[in-house]
């Protein structure tokens, strides 16, 4: 476990036994879900209304070692109250991160073996994969990967009539993505489609060669705009009716794009998988 505080100072709490021994971390598994129901007279049970995942509360228990007072006071600097921090956690199968705010830091100063406890509130409950997945939508889809076996024929790539990117969401929840398109010809319509779900996002706007189109469907960062030279043009008013902020569902997602012309241009997509627990 590493902590990156609001000053950009990174501290590794584990494998630091000369100063700290992390003896417990609560909140690494899935956070609770709030199920909202309504009761109707004369009907057994209740009706389901909605559900949402609650915020995550990470509680880190640390035994202080070495110079006890100095190391306790160093924790005050690592975890200033109310401040934002990023927690990195890695085990055999997952390397994740999550942003949170320091709620409390308590310690038993009069114990023979002094222990500190840090409580961090994470408003967004899902852990994010520490590494983003970046791919390009193209008519030529790369298939060759290392390690490989040649006991049977191995495909290096596959050619499609339309540009595709196949993204396999290995996380525990659907997630948004960020997409960037380098416009290389004048177009009036750009549509991004997840063929797996049928959801699409269309913008009707006169884009010019040299423009950069940017779309974010990440929760809390929904945005679509165009960069033309030094100017940023918001495109929210040009979203086509029926469009949705496309998500990448669990499993395979077949992403493609189309325009009102036949030319292909560079389109890149970036996503981070979300995990309920480690």
Look at 4-8, 24-28, 244-248 and tell me which has the smallest mean pLDDT: 4-8
Buried b (16+ CB within 10 A) or exposed e, 5-20: beeeeebebeebeebb
Structural domains of the chain in order of their starting residue, each with its CATH number = 2-129 (2.40.30.200), 133-275 (2.60.120.880)
**Each residue of 74-125: pLDDT tens digit?**
999 999 999 999 999 999 999 999 999 999 999 999 888 999 999 999 999 9
Q: Could you give the residue ranges of the DSSP H alpha helices within the chain?
A: 68-78
**Each residue of 131-178: pLDDT tens digit?**
988 888 865 445 545 565 566 655 544 554 578 889 999 999 999 999
Gap between the Cα atoms of 161 and 141, Å rounded? 11
- What mean pLDDT is reported for the chain? 90
User: Of 96, 82, 81, 75, which is closest to residue 29 (Cα–Cα)?
Assistant: 96
The per-residue pLDDT for 262 is 81
Locate tokens 């228990």: which residue? Answer: 61
């Amino acid at each position: 476990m590493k902590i990156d505080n609001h000053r950009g100072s990174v501290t590794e709490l584990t494998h630091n036994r000369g100063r700290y021994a992390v003896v417990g971390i609560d909140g690494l598994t899935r956070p609770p879900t709030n199920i909202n129901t309504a009761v109707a007279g004369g009907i057994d049970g209740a009706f389901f209304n909605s559900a949402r995942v609650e915020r995550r509360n990470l509680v880190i228990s640390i035994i202080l070692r070495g110079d006890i007072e100095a190391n306790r006071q160093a924790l005050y600097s690592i975890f200033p109250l109310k401040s934002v921090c990023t927690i990195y956690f890695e085990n055999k199968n997952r390397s994740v991160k999550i942003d949170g705010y320091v709620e409390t830091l308590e310690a038993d100063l009069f114990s023979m073996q002094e222990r500190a406890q840090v409580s961090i509130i994470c408003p967004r409950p899902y852990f994010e994969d520490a590494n983003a997945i970046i791919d390009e939508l193209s008519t030529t889809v790369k298939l060759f990967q290392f390690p490989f076996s040649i006991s049977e024929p191995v495909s290096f790539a596959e050619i499609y009539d339309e540009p595709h990117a196949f993204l396999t969401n290995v996380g525990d929840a659907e997630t948004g993505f960020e997409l960037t398109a380098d416009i290389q010809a004048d177009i009036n319509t750009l549509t991004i489609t997840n063929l797996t779900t049928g959801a699409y996002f269309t913008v009707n706007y006169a884009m010019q060669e040299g423009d950069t189109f940017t779309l974010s469907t990440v929760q809390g960062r929904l945005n679509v705009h165009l960069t033309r030279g030094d100017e940023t043009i918001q495109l929210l008013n040009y979203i086509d009716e029926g469009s949705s902020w496309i998500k990448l569902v669990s499993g395979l997602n077949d992403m493609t794009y189309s325009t009102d012309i036949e030319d292909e241009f560079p389109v890149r997509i970036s996503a981070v998988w979300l995990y309920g627990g480690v």
